[in-house]
Structure 1
Amino acid sequence: MQDAPLQFLKDLLHAPSPSGYERPVQDVVRRFAKGFADDVKTDWHGNVVASVNPTGSPRIMLAGHCDQIGLLVKHIDDKGYLWVHAIGGWDPQVLIGQNVQVWTKGGPVAGVIARKPIHLQTPDDRKTVA
């Protein structure tokens, strides 16, 4: 892969963008598109529209979705476990085992989504991701 597209991909993957806070990833797209597009605009929803030869034929549109699964920390217990609420809609079961970044005033902190092993779970435990 060429250097610029590879760096673009890395920048996309590292830009935090939970639902409702997509500006960092939109900035990445806008900055990259300015390198090849004839025109780059952003509408009031934050959608980035980059045009190459906008009056040409045929007209082709490529669309992408830019927000990520987001969690809001609601509580940190005395053992350091985080209690979170979802930002947007998604299935929490897909998060088990995923690496996460917790954004703090002091910068990002690495973490992982985990839960008790199935043989140690109560029926109520199986309804939550903890």
Structure 2
Amino acid sequence: MSDVPERVMPTPLRAVQILLLTLALAGIVSMLALSDSLTAYGQGEMMAPWLLVWVSAALCLTYDGSARGGVRTTTLVLMALVVLPTVTRLGEAASPGPFLDAAVRILLGVPVIVLLFLPESTAWFDRER
């Protein structure tokens, strides 16, 4: 056996990965479900935050490898850019579809931000390689 301790990703980061991948899947489902009822401008406006979610989901796949603090910071910034404008537009939703779309982004995005600020998460990205 090896004397080198095995490094296991903390549970909050596993939860972030699950949340981001679930959010990315929800974005695909939401875009497919609402695409018929929106104009081209509406589809583009709705797709912008989902693109940021999909980039964040791609970044979360690197958490268990050689990801450093920059990946964590980038994910935090992207998720803040998804959640904050969504909160301001939540009240403007005219129908249940866009309201549900915004609610999903908020309900799954806020825990991602909170979990990435936990000390265990910060320590994982600052660990020695």
TM-score using structure 1 length:
0.27
Higher strand share: 1
Q: Larger C-alpha radius of gyration, 1 or 2?
A: 1
Name the structure with the higher helix share.
2
Larger RCO (alpha carbons 8 Å, 6+ apart): 2
TM-score normalised over the length of structure 2: 0.27
